[in-house]
Amino acid sequence: MTDFSALDAACPLLECPVCRGRGAAEVPLVRHDRQLACPNGHGFDIARQGYVNLTGGAPPANADTAPMIDARQRFLDSGVYEPIRQAVSHASDAAHWLVEVGAGTGWYLDGVLTHRRDAVGLATDVSVAAAKRAARSGLASVVADTWAGLPIRSASVDAVLCVFAPRSAAEFARVLRPGGRAVVA
């Protein structure tokens, strides 16, 4: 049975991407069994692995594949980037609500959450393989395209992490709370 606790904790950050795309005011997503749904009837199935695809389509051709994600994880597990992980964690240590954009395996977000048990994190990536891996490691994980607009409520996040990933300053500014922090490497 899939543990939905991380996804349930992160749900207050999420908004319906369909309603948002139609210019509606922010419409929250709530989990009902194995689906995230909005009050307007849009539903998004939670995959067996625990992630949710909020893009409404297939990943782009340049999205990381499962072998690419496996190779990245092997490299990260080598410890070479541990100083970067620690710096990202330190830079976001006051944050309660965190989103890692272009999260891949969610390794940097996991580093923050390991030291901040009271914090809530959400991993986003355009790659289904990445979202699967992040969810498998216990992170709330959604497939989302930063360039198309993050399915995240405005002014809801204390810190946006973006480590070696594409970034959209406009989207980061939109989702960050006043006084929030973008942590970019």
Return d(Cα 48, Cα 105) in angstroms, integer. Answer: 17
Summary mean pLDDT of the chain: 93
Within a domain: 6: no
In a domain, 1, yes or no: no
Q: What's the number of domains the chain is made of?
A: 1
Residue 61 within any structural domain of the chain: yes
CA distance 171 to 107: 22
Domain containing residue 147: CATH number? 3.40.50.150
Q: Report how far residue 128's alpha carbon sits from residue 118's, in angstroms, rounded to the nearest whole number.
A: 27
Residue 154: CB atoms within 10 Å = 16
pLDDT of residue 1: 55
pLDDT, tens digit, 9 for 90 and up, residues 18-28: 998 777 778 89
Q: What residue numbers bound the domain in which 128 lies?
A: 52-184
Is 80 inside any structural domain? Answer: yes
In a domain, 29, yes or no: no
Q: Give a yes or no: residue 64 inside a domain.
A: yes
> pTM of the full predicted structure?
0.94
